[in-house]
């Protein structure tokens, strides 16, 4: 199914502007490096790239509290936030800093996810790597997320009259705010694979949200073989059982080996396979970015993901102009001795052999048993 659909890349030049100050884990090149690498490799042909529109305040108010929208707009304009607003809305903190352009940037990521949903409804596989701010709450910033663009992609799909929509979150952190946003909406099923014990601490295996959420908290060192097991035995069959009309996938690159804020051990190839399998489940598909704090692994993952979705061939080694893009990246959180030479000259990881640990097999069994019990009771 996915083979027939052309892909569309939604981006914006706004992501080249400095953001998050200097000390924040997101103050690294991200979307712009993906665009640059894709362009250097000839992967953004005429008609494939589209500039993101910006969501207006009336649109933002469909999910976000108008008082919060106004607070972020005014704080951004004045460059100041008072203690009451900081406490009430979580902005101007170390976690969610105030920086010039934050309001436009966050509104643009919402507009991009809405546009991605429209492109998906029109038959394109829509890739919006600036999206995936899955922790944003109706009335407050949370976990580096000011607004919640995945919620808006899902709302756009529901507005089109779709009755069955799946959300799959493959970021290293639980997709808490998306799950909660649709807890009372029988049209949306959510799935999240995330590292156990990480912030925000939600998403236990026993957490089924409003009854349509599946949470798979996985141990440190989560491997390719383990991802394949949970996708093939749990996520894909359970999502397919709902016969989704559309799917939204959040692809935080913090799930990769080498991320400084998580301890999963996935290769980008395993994640590309997982995302492609999700895309194939539904006639309309939106693929979003998410977290990710190692600019080399992020740029390789999301560029290669675009190549897979858009059917561009990935070379074994990169030509000099493409290498130059990876060589000029920098990141204080990644120690030089942890740098892998292949991060500078390839896109695809060479997956290491991996095994499935008993705890991950048990997580699968427990999740399937819980679903069967729920179905028997229904």
Site for Zn ion in 104-163 (CB under 5 A): none
Place of tokens 């016969």: 243
Nearer to Zn ion, 195 or 245 (CB): 195
Nearer to Zn ion, 33 or 253 (CB): 253
Name the segment binding Zn ion (CB under 5 A); options: 70-78, 175-183, 216-224, 291-299. Answer: 291-299
Min separation Cβ 102 and Zn ion, Å: 19
Name the segment binding Zn ion (CB under 5 A); options: 77-85, 167-175, 206-214, 326-334. Answer: 167-175
Min separation Cβ 211 and Zn ion, Å: 25
Peptide bond into 200 cis (omega under 30): yes
Min separation Cβ 218 and Zn ion, Å: 13
Sheet containing 165-169: give its strands across: 49-51, 7-11, 125-128, 284-288, 246-250, 165-169, 188-195, 213-218
Among 32, 171, 195, 259, binds Zn ion (CB under 5 A): 171
Among 131, 132, 209, 291, binds Zn ion (CB under 5 A): 291
Tell me how far apart the alpha carbons of residues 256 and 271 are, in angstroms, rounded to a whole number.
8
Min separation Cβ 262 and Zn ion, Å: 7
Catalytic residue among 12, 89, 128, 135: 135
What the block records as the tokens of 279 is 């895309």
Among 244, 252, 258, 289, binds Zn ion (CB under 5 A): 252
Site for Zn ion in 192-211 (CB under 5 A): none
Among 156, 254, 259, 349, binds Zn ion (CB under 5 A): 254
Among 89, 137, 173, 212, binds Zn ion (CB under 5 A): 173
Nearer to Zn ion, 297 or 346 (CB): 297
172 binds Zn ion, rule: CB under 5 A:
yes
Tell me how far apart the alpha carbons of residues 147 and 27 are, in angstroms, rounded to a whole number.
18
135 is catalytic: yes
CB atoms within 10 A of CB 323: 16
Q: Which ranges constitute the DSSP H helices of the chain? A: 31-40, 57-60, 66-78, 83-89, 102-121, 149-159, 176-181, 224-230, 236-241, 268-279, 295-310, 320-327, 358-377
Closest CA to 285 of 134, 153, 101: 153
Nearer to Zn ion, 112 or 252 (CB): 252
The residue of the chain with the least Cβ separation from Zn ion equals 291
Nearer to Zn ion, 171 or 349 (CB): 171
Min separation Cβ 61 and Zn ion, Å: 26
- How many chain residues interact with Zn ion (CB under 5 A)? 6
Those residues with Cβ within 8 angstroms of residue 237's Cβ, 6 or more apart along the chain or in another chain: none
Place of tokens 């729920």: 374
Closest CA to 58 of 114, 127, 100: 114
- Rounded to 10 deg, the angle between the 295-310 and 268-279 helix axes is 40
Nearer to Zn ion, 5 or 173 (CB): 173
List active site positions.
135
Binding footprint of Zn ion on the chain (CB under 5 A): 171-173, 252, 254, 291
């Amino acid at each position: 199914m996915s083979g027939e659909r052309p892909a569309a890349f939604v981006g914006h030049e706004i992501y080249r502007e400095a953001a998050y100050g200097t000390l924040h884990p997101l103050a690294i090149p991200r979307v712009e490096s993906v665009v640059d690498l894709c362009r250097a490799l000839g992967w953004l042909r005429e008609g494939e790239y589209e500039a993101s529109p910006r969501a207006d305040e009336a649109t933002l108010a469909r999910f976000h509290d108008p008082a919060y929208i106004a607070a972020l707009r005014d704080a951004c304009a004045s460059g100041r936030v008072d203690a009451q607003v900081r406490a009430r809305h979580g902005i101007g903190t170390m976690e969610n800093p105030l920086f010039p352009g934050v309001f436009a940037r966050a509104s643009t990521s919402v507009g991009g996810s809405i546009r991605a949903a429209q492109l998906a409804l029109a038959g394109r596989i829509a890739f919006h790597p600036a999206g995936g701010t899955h922790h944003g709450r109706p009335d407050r910033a949370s976990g580096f997320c000011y607004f919640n663009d995945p919620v808006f992609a899902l709302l756009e799909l529901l507005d089109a009259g779709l009755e069955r929509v799946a959300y799959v979150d493959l970021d290293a952190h639980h997709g808490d705010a998306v799950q909660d946003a649709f807890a009372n909406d029988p049209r949306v099923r959510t799935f999240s694979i995330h590292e156990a014990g990480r912030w925000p601490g939600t998403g236990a295996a026993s957490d089924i949200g409003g009854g349509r959420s599946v949470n798979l908290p996985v141990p440190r060192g989560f491997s390719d073989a383990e991802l394949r097991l949970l996708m093939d035995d749990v996520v894909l069959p359970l999502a397919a059982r709902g016969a989704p009309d559309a799917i939204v996938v959040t692809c935080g690159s913090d799930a990769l080996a080498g991320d400084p804020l998580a301890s999963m051990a996935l290769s980008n190839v395993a994640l590309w396979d997982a995302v492609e399998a999700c895309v194939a489940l539904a006639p309309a598909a939106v693929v979003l970015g998410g977290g990710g704090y190692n600019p080399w692994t992020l740029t390789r993952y999301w560029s290669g993901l675009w190549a897979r979705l858009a059917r561009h061939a990935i070379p074994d080694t990169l030509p000099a102009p493409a290498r130059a893009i990876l060589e000029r990246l920098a990141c204080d959180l990644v120690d030089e001795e942890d740098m892998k030479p292949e991060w500078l000259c390839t896109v695809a990881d060479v997956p290491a052999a991996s095994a499935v640990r008993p705890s991950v097999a048990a997580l699968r069994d427990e999740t399937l048993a819980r679903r069967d019990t729920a179905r028997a009771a229904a």
